[in-house]
Structure 1
Amino acid sequence: MSSAPISTSPMSVFDPLALAQRRRRALALGPETFLLDRVAEDLVDRLNAVKRLFGTAADLGTPTPVLRDALSRSGMVERYFAFGPAERGDVDAVADPEILPFAPASLDLVVSALALQSVNDLPGVLAQIRRALKPDGLLLAGFLGGGTLSELREAFAIAESDTLGGISPRVAPFVDLRDLGGLLQRAGLALPVTDVDRVVVRYGDPLALLHDLRRMGGANPLTDRRRAPLLKKTLIRLFEVYAERFADPDGRLRATFEIVWLSGWAPHESQQKPLRPGSAKTRLADALNVPEGRLKDEG
């Protein structure tokens, strides 16, 4: 098994050493996989809709073997290779997600589940994936988006402001869905598609949520995180704010996980092309069976 260096750029939003430590701790505690299992099942369903047998597939960064197992059962992939963190154990190559070990035009499919949210240079990663895909090869990935843990983010900000007189980064700045289409096009991927799956999980108290995040390897990995331990008074205030603002009528507390999906294809001559401006042969008014008229002047 080969290895790759860990990026330690001073401009990193995410601390790669902290990410590795949190993955190891999650394994030691016993990982919580309900979100990852959901993403893996959804990814296979989405691939089923493509109705194609993929020759060579690469799994980029998925933290457990869940995609290997799901894709092997599906029969949609002939050859599967896992690239990702050493903590996973069964990867075919340990790979830094910022520096991908793929040869140009070598892959028919790249998949990833709950991994790309913690790369520091997502546009660069997407460009590397585009180079690695064969013509008409597919990228399909699901990862955490900007609405994830919005309740916890707000409660932490209020609790720290009230008890410490200021706030520190506590929840990762996940990518916004509105930005993804442009990123896929900038990377040179054709037919880009993005959508979102919002999952609301209910907890008896915020401590149960924090325990789940540890078991997901999702505790704060930000480079600029506060290094001092969380004070008891801040934690108590956090619990108060969370209960005040995000409790359902039965007293249980909401936590939102936003899973954003992206897909894009390496360009190929067989793919559908947009029509040139002015090349339409049918007027829109005729297609809709309505009379053509001038736009109303709102001025």
Structure 2
Amino acid sequence: MSVPILFNRQLVRLHRDRAVSHMQEMQDVVERCADQLLGRLDDVQRSFANALEIGGRGIIGPALQARGINTISADLSHKLVAINQGKSCVCMDEEMLPFAAESFDLVIAHFNLHWVNDLPGALMQIRNILRPDGLFLAAVPILPTLSLLRTIMTEAEIEHYGGASPRISPFPDLRACAELMQRAGFALPVVDKEKLDLVYRSAAALFRDLRFSGETNALVEGKKNLTHHSFWVHCLEKLEQQDELAVPLHFAVLTGWAPDVSQPQPLKPGQFSMSLENVF
């Protein structure tokens, strides 16, 4: 089955390369999101020896090393992964993981899987490189992130060009994330929803942060020719009309385990010792 190509991966890499020089401006947001993943790890009552962190932006890798976990940091962007100075680093494509089966007992992906064309395939590869009973943690932006911006830009497209072309990456919802984890074969999958409240003083500041974080448009089907100045003026004016330019970041925290015989197994039909009628 052919995989639909939604994203220009070369453009994604260029955007992430560009974001390196602005990491300091985005440090607070990156750290607050990373804390959500590391907090989940702190709740796990077991130790990990070898970890792979993908897209950690210089935050996740050092935190894992400080916990005594031998860590390899990886990213599509050579410049971005290189900020993990003195650590084991690999520049790689998340769609083709260059690791042998059962290489790690922990894999953490931090806000990078939403730019992968074959997300089900990437999740299956991650499960494959995990040792039995290995842990996978990931943070993925979900709907309704950037819903206000998406609506305003779509309306402006229709007004100026008579039709709409995609300008914002499509995000999954919480249910889709859960289905993807099950489809990839993870055991004991859990998907939690988190929200980081972000409020901007101006629309220009919002667009700046999207650029500084490497999250600008990389859709293959995006508009190819130059956008007229009046389009951007329209978008900025509509955004500035908001009483408060709140742009909350909604994201899912995915947790799953590589299958192992030691894990709790669901009972088969007929094995239950109590009827649901007696519970409710």
TM-score if structure 1 supplies the norm length? 0.85
Q: Is the 8 A contact 1:36 1:114 kept in 2?
A: no
Equivalent residue, structure 2, for 1:266: 258
Equivalent residue, structure 1, for 2:186: 189
CA–CA separation in structure 2 for the residues paired with 1:212 and 1:267:
39
Equivalent residue, structure 2, for 1:291: none
Q: Is the 8 A contact 1:56 1:80 kept in 2?
A: yes
Deviation, 1:235, is 1.2
| Segment of structure 1 superposing worse, 100-109 or 174-183 | 174-183
CA–CA separation in structure 1 for the residues paired with 2:193 and 2:28:
17
Equivalent residue, structure 2, for 1:47: 41
Equivalent residue letter for 2:74: F
Q: CA deviation digits over 1:151-199, x for unaligned, max 9?
A: 1100101112112222111100122221122221221110011111122
Equivalent residue letter for 1:20: R
Identity %: 35
Q: Is the 8 A contact 1:61 1:97 kept in 2?
A: no
Of 30, 34, 38, the residue aligned with 2:28 is 34
Q: Classify 1:188/1:11 alpha carbon distance in 2 versus 1 (closer, same or farther; 3 Å).
A: closer
CA–CA separation in structure 2 for the residues paired with 1:24 and 1:83:
14
| Segment of structure 1 superposing worse, 98-107 or 229-238 | 229-238
Of 72, 89, 92, the residue aligned with 2:89 is 92
SS in 2 for 1:99: coil
SS in 2 for 1:173: coil
2:247 paired with 1:255: yes
Q: Classify 1:29/1:227 alpha carbon distance in 2 versus 1 (closer, same or farther; 3 Å).
A: farther
Radius of gyration: which is bigger? Answer: 1
Q: Is the 8 A contact 1:177 1:260 kept in 2?
A: yes
CA–CA separation in structure 1 for the residues paired with 2:157 and 2:201:
22
Of 105, 127, 131, the residue aligned with 1:130 is 127
Deviation, 1:10, is 9.4
Equivalent residue letter for 1:81: I
CA–CA separation in structure 1 for the residues paired with 2:21 and 2:104:
34
2:10 paired with 1:13: no
Q: CA deviation digits over 1:182-236, x for unaligned, max 9?
A: 2212211100111111223111221110011110011111111113333221112
2:227 paired with 1:230: yes
2:172 paired with 1:178: no
SS in 2 for 1:35: helix
| Segment of structure 1 superposing worse, 235-244 or 267-276 | 235-244
Equivalent residue, structure 2, for 1:221: 218
Of 74, 83, 90, the residue aligned with 1:83 is 74
Aligned residues: 272
Q: Is the 8 A contact 2:37 2:253 kept in 1?
A: no
| Segment of structure 1 superposing worse, 209-218 or 162-171 | 162-171
2:159 paired with 1:168: no
CA–CA separation in structure 2 for the residues paired with 1:181 and 1:25:
32
2:278 paired with 1:286: yes
Equivalent residue, structure 2, for 1:293: none
Deviation, 1:19, is 1.0
SS in 2 for 1:159: helix
SS in 2 for 1:268: coil
Q: CA deviation digits over 1:116-141, x for unaligned, max 9?
A: 11111110011111111111001001
2:54 paired with 1:60: yes
CA–CA separation in structure 2 for the residues paired with 1:151 and 1:207:
15
Q: Is the 8 A contact 2:108 2:138 kept in 1?
A: yes
* Unaligned runs of at least 5 residues, structure 1: 1-8, 289-299
Deviation, 1:279, is 1.7
Q: CA deviation digits over 1:44-63, x for unaligned, max 9?
A: 1100100211011001233x
